[in-house]
Amino acid sequence: MLPRVGIRGTHLARDADEHEFGSDDTDTKLRLVRDYLSAYATALRPKFNHLWYIDAFAGTGSRSVKHPARPGDFMNVEDVPERVEKRPGSARIGLEISPAFDRVILMDSKPRHIAALEALKVEHPHRDIHVVPGDCNRFIQDQLAKTNWASKRAALFLDPYGMEVEWATLKAIASTEAIDVWYLFSLEGLYRNAAHDINDVDQVKRAALTKLLGTDEWERELYSVHQPPTDLFDYTPPEERRRNADVAGLEAYVTRRLREIFPMVLDPYALPVGRKPQRFSLYCMISNKDGKALGLARRIGDHILKAGK
C-alpha cells in the first residue's frame, strides 16, 4: 500500500485499519514473534494437520507509523509533509507465515478494530479466519481451553497495552498442553500499580494486581516492614510497609510465578532494548509437557531471543 501523504497542518482522513501504537521496539517485538511463528510452523507442519495461530490482542492488522512534517530550510529545500507509513501488525504477520497456519483466530475488544479484522478476512477469502469480538480472557477461558487439542497445536500471542491478561487466562492456556505463547508482560503496569508505599496501593490497584498475578500473596512477597529513622526530636515515625523488589526483582517474581504454571518459560527479553527503565518483559512460554516438544521449543526460542539481542 502506498504511504498516505498529507500537507503539513491539514487533517488526514483516517483509514479503517489505522492503529498508531508502540515505537521502534514494537518492530523488534514483532520481528521476534514472526521469527518464532515461522520456525514453529516449519517444524510442526510435517507432524500436525491442525496448526493454529491465535492473536488475542490483534489490533487492526496494521500498525501506522507517523513521520512528522519537516519545514524547508534556507537552502531552499522544500517542506516535507507529514507521512503515515503502514506496517504489518501481528494479525497480518500471522497470515503471512509460510508454511501457512490452517486456522487463524483474531480477537479484539474494540469494535473499530474488529471491523478492520473482518476486512482482513475478506482480503483472504481462501483462509480459515475467525474474528472474535470481545474480551479475549472470556473466549480463552470459556472456549479455547475446552477445545479438544489432541491433534492440534497452536501458537498464541498476548500483546496487551497494559495489565489486561488475567492469570486465569494463562492457567487456561497452560491446561491445553498444546499451545506455545508469546506474552508481552507490562512490567511498567506492575511497578506503577505496586507503589513503593503499600498505603498508596488502593483497593482497585490491589484487585488488578491480584488478577494479573493470580494470588494476593504478592503483598507478602514484594513488601516488607521498614522502620523510618528517629528524627532530631527523638520522634520515631510509625513503621511503613515498602516494596522491597526493584524492577529486576519484580521481573524475577513474575518469571517465578509463570514457571509455576508452564513447564517451560524462557528467560524474558527486556523492552525497550538497552534503555532503562525496562517497560516490558517479552516471555516465550510452552504448555506442552512432552520432553521432545520442550527441547524443540527451547532450541527455537533461545536461538531467536539470542539473535534478537
> Contacts with ligand SAM: how many residues (CB under 6 A)?
20
Instruction: Tell me how far, at minimum, the Cβ of 26 lies from ligand SAM, in Å.
Output: 7
User: Which of 223/269 has CB closer to ligand SAM?
Assistant: 269
What are 61's three cell numbers?
Answer: 492488522
Output the smallest distance, CB 154 to ligand SAM, in A.
16
Q: How far apart are CA 140 and CA 176, in angstroms?
A: 11
Query: Which residue type does 225 have?
Result: V
Counting contacts by CB under 6 A, is residue 17 touching ligand SAM?
Answer: no
Cα angle value 245/265/307 (rounded, 5°): 100
Contacts of 279 (CB under 8 A, 6+ apart): 186, 187, 188, 271, 272
Among 5, 14, 21, 230, the residue binding ligand SAM under the rule CB under 6 A is 21
> Could you give the string, one character per residue 61-90, with x where binding to ligand SAM holds by CB under 6 A and - elsewhere?
--x-------------------------xx
If binding is defined by CB under 6 A, does position 59 make contact with ligand SAM? yes
CB of 166 to ligand SAM, least distance (A): 9
Q: Which of residues 155-214 bind ligand SAM (CB under 6 A)?
A: 159-161, 164
**What minimum distance in Å lies between the beta carbon of 292 and ligand SAM?**
30
In terms of C-beta density within 10 A (0-12 exposed, 13-18 middle, 19 or more buried), how is residue 138 classed? middle
Q: Ramachandran region of residue 75, left (φ > 0), alpha (ψ -120 to 50) or beta?
A: alpha
Q: For residues 131 and 264, which CB has a smaller minimum distance to ligand SAM in the complex?
A: 131
DSSP 211: H
Q: How far is the CB of 22 from ligand SAM (least distance, A)?
A: 7
Cβ distance to ligand SAM smaller for residue 33 or 41: 33
Which residue in the shown chain puts its C-beta closest to ligand SAM? 89
* Comparison of 35 and 135: residue with beta carbon closer to ligand SAM: 135
The residue type of 37 is L
Give bridge partners of residue 4 from the DSSP assignment. 84
- Would you give the DSSP letter of residue 146? G
Stretch that binds ligand SAM, among 53-61, 73-81, 215-223, 240-248 (CB under 6 A): 53-61
Site for ligand SAM in 105-144 (CB under 6 A): 107-110, 113, 135-137
Which CB atom, from 90 or from 287, has the smaller least distance to ligand SAM?
Answer: 90
- 113 burial level (CB within 10 Å; 0-12, 13-18, 19+): buried
Pick from 36, 40, 52, 57 the residue near ligand SAM by CB under 6 A.
57
What secondary structure letter does DSSP report for 155? E
The rounded distance, in Å, linking the Cα atoms of 280 and 69 is 30
Please work out, in degrees rounded to the nearest 5, the angle formed at the alpha carbon of residue 166 by the alpha carbons of 163 and 170. Answer: 120
CB of 124 vs ligand SAM, minimal distance in Å: 16
Q: Is 293 a binder of ligand SAM (CB under 6 A)? A: no
Rounded Cα distance between 278 and 233, Å, is 41
Interface residues with ligand SAM (CB under 6 A) are: 21, 30, 57-59, 63, 89-90, 107-110, 113, 135-137, 159-161, 164
